[in-house]
Amino acid sequence: MTTVACIKWGTAFGPEYVNRLYSGVRRNLSGPVRFCCMTDDAKGLHPDIEVLPLPVEPFQDEMNWALEFANRQGAMRKVSLFRQGVIPDLDGPVLGFDLDVVITGALDELLDYVPGKVAMRHDWVEARKGRVTGHGSVFRFDPSCHGYLYDDLAADAYGEVEKARGSEQRYTSHKAMDRGDFAYIPEAWVVSYKHDCYARWPLNWWVEPTSPKAAKVVCFHGHPKMSEAVSGYRHWLRGAPACGWLREHWVEKAQADLGGEWASG
């Protein structure tokens, strides 16, 4: 049984994002899937999704205070997934996803990659600047081995947030690197829509973005958002036509799998 987890809070993403992610995951893993969503609002989630209550952490006020100074309000919430025992009866690693990703290929290799390590893809912007930070949209960890990702923040929330400059992905990847406990996911497996799929400017205005053949996950960070990319995005630099393969993988296949009641939005 493969355990997959995501987190949803606030109003930025509707339940269809969770349901479509669940569909993409279960269609692209070879074995049975336990799909968990940590959330403060379970309304509209598919009944096969296991709901984990979003906890109020004892260090939350201290963390939020530090995030205000970093101008990163709302960041770091994902760390609640790292606490041992938060997923009941867990056996083995967890494959985690942000909600603004689409699954486009088989995930088994990603799940099994470098067992025992915290695994994340090298962040695109950080890599270009010669820095080592991982990107947090796709992550693989094991709370029984990596509980320090929660415990260290709980012990000194203000200090850890300040050190990470309010970035959850910087905190997670650097904390694991400091312990020799980190592996980069191969870059070809996890790609960025705006960095890896676009045609060169100005052809991007007329040529539909491509889906790299080796990609298992496509990440949508910044703009365009997924809904913008599906219908076509108009921006002086990053404009692009409607993306048919995104509609297929993110919307149409999920609707065929779960039914329109759960995958529409």
Per-residue CA distances from 14 to 47, 56, 150, 235 (Å): 15, 21, 27, 24
Span 233-264, pLDDT tens digits: 988 888 999 999 999 999 999 999 999 899 98
Task: Say what the pLDDT of residue 264 is.
Answer: 87
249 neighbors 242 (Cβ within 8 angstroms): no
Span 10-63, pLDDT tens digits: 899 999 999 999 999 999 999 999 999 999 999 999 999 999 999 999 998 988
Same domain assignment for residues 121 and 39: yes
Same domain assignment for residues 117 and 90: yes
- 154 has pLDDT over 70: yes
Task: Say what the pLDDT of residue 94 is.
Answer: 97
Peptide linkage before 224 cis (omega within 30 of 0): yes
229 neighbors 198 (Cβ within 8 angstroms): no
- 73 has pLDDT over 70: no
Same domain assignment for residues 180 and 162: yes
Same domain assignment for residues 215 and 135: no
- 71 has pLDDT over 70: no
Calpha distance 57→70 (Å, rounded)? 19
Task: Say what the pLDDT of residue 232 is.
Answer: 94
Same domain assignment for residues 217 and 164: no
DSSP code at position 194:
I
Question: End of a domain among 163, 186, 209?
Answer: 186
How many domains, the chain?
A: 2
When computed from its CA atoms, the radius of gyration of the chain, rounded to whole angstroms, is: 18
Same domain assignment for residues 207 and 157: no
Please give the average per-residue pLDDT across 141-154, as a whole number.
95
**Residue whose pair of structure tokens reads 């205070």 in the numeric block:** 65
Rounded to 5 degrees, what angle do the CA atoms 226, 232, 236 make?
105
- Which tops the pLDDT comparison, 46 or 222? 46
Same domain assignment for residues 198 and 180: no
Q: pTM of the entire structure? A: 0.95
Same domain assignment for residues 238 and 131: no
Same domain assignment for residues 182 and 196: no
Same domain assignment for residues 204 and 114: no
Task: Say what the pLDDT of residue 28 is.
Answer: 98
Beta partners for residue 192, in sequence order: 219
Same domain assignment for residues 89 and 199: no
Calpha distance 184→177 (Å, rounded)? 10
Same domain assignment for residues 147 and 85: yes
Beta partners for residue 120, in sequence order: 139, 184
Question: End of a domain among 186, 208, 229?
Answer: 186
Calpha distance 39→234 (Å, rounded)? 32
Q: What is the CATH number of the domain that holds 118?
A: 3.90.550.10
Residue 100, domain extent: 2-186
Under the banding of pLDDT at 50, 70 and 90, the label for residue 69 is confident
